[in-house]
Structure 1
């Protein structure tokens, strides 16, 4: 179940996976 949740797109995150969302946040923090 954990894998399923981590790898499926979430509409609340803009239809990206939580993993992609975390990467996006990390990139934005680095750029700031």
Structure 2
């Protein structure tokens, strides 16, 4: 089971802004 950081390709130390931007990028590519 992959963790959120692996799925979003961000560091576990990423800021919430980095995580949000990675999530939005992923959401755009999968829709």
* Larger-gyration structure (1/2): 1
Return the TM-score normalized by structure 1: 0.47
Pick the structure with more helix per residue: 1
Higher relative contact order (CA 8 A, sep 6+): 2
